[in-house]
């Protein structure tokens, strides 16, 4: 019972912080709310006895990705970009229509997935799986080594792109 209460508290914290991401007008505050959302999700994983996934979530998303997002937010002059978010020709009506469409799509997905879960055959006993970090590392560096290397190259390209964007003419650090 205590695990369920803790799960609902941490899940609610993640949902409230994710709403803070959407409703915050300051991009740095929005990034901090996103970091808190990732911390809440990592604690949810830990509460579900997925300690490795929880720690990876905390280290990768709440750590490295959030540092990257805050760096990009502070790299560009966001005052110039505020005009792009003005209501424009369609105004707020289009936003309301698209928001209603998204709520309807999410509700239909939830209803469909609930129906699939309830009609699924019951499994009596799951196969035992080796869930150690050693087994994950062996799998990652044998069967998925190509995907792992492609991910490394992709992250390198992202870092090179961030440096290139900071050095464009007229950019924040163009004179350095």
> In 1-144, which residue ranges form alpha helices assigned H by DSSP?
2-23, 27-47, 51-56, 66-75, 92-119, 133-142
Contact between 68 and 49 under an 8 Å Cβ cutoff? The reply is no
Instruction: Please report which confidence band the pLDDT of residue 175 belongs to, taking 50, 70 and 90 as the band edges.
Output: low
Whether residue 57 contacts residue 37, with contact meaning beta carbons closer than 8 Å, is answered with: no
Each residue's pLDDT tens digit, 149-163: 888 888 888 778 777
Answer yes or no: are the C-beta atoms of 33 and 17 closer than 8 Å. yes
Q: What is the pTM of this model?
A: 0.54
In this model, does residue 139 exceed pLDDT 80? Answer: yes
Q: In the 8-state DSSP scheme, what is residue 164?
A: H
1-79 CATH choice from 3.40.50.880, 1.10.530.10, 3.40.50.620, 1.20.120.1200: 1.20.120.1200
Is 168 strand, coil or helix? coil
Name the DSSP letter for residue 126.
P
- How confident is the model at residue 115, as a pLDDT? 77
The residue that leads in pLDDT, 64 or 106, is: 106
Distance between CA atoms of residues 68 and 158, nearest Å: 10
Enumerate the domain spans of the chain. Answer: 1-79, 144-176
What was the pLDDT predicted at 60? 82
Of 84 and 141, which is predicted with more confidence? 141
| Cα separation, 159 vs 153, whole angstroms | 10
24 Cα distance to chain centroid: 17
CB 41 within 8 A of CB 22: no
């Amino acid at each position: 019972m205590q695990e369920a209460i803790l799960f609902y508290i941490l899940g609610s914290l993640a949902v409230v912080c994710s709403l803070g991401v959407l409703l915050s007008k300051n991009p740095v505050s929005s990034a901090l709310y996103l970091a808190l959302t990732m911390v809440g999700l990592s604690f949810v994983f830990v509460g579900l006895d997925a300690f490795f996934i929880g720690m990876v979530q905390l280290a990768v998303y709440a750590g490295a990705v959030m540092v990257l997002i805050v760096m990009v937010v502070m790299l560009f002059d966001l005052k110039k970009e505020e005009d792009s978010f003005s209501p424009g020709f369609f105004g707020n009506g289009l936003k309301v229509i698209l928001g209603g469409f998204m709520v309807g799509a999410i509700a239909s997905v939830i209803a469909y997935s609930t129906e699939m879960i309830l009609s699924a055959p019951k499994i009596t006993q799951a196969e035992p799986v080796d869930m150690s970090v050693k087994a994950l590392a062996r799998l990652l560096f044998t069967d998925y080594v190509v995907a792992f290397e492609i991910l490394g190259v992709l992250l390198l390209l992202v870092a090179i792109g961030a440096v290139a964007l900071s050095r464009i003419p007229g950019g924040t650090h163009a004179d350095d």
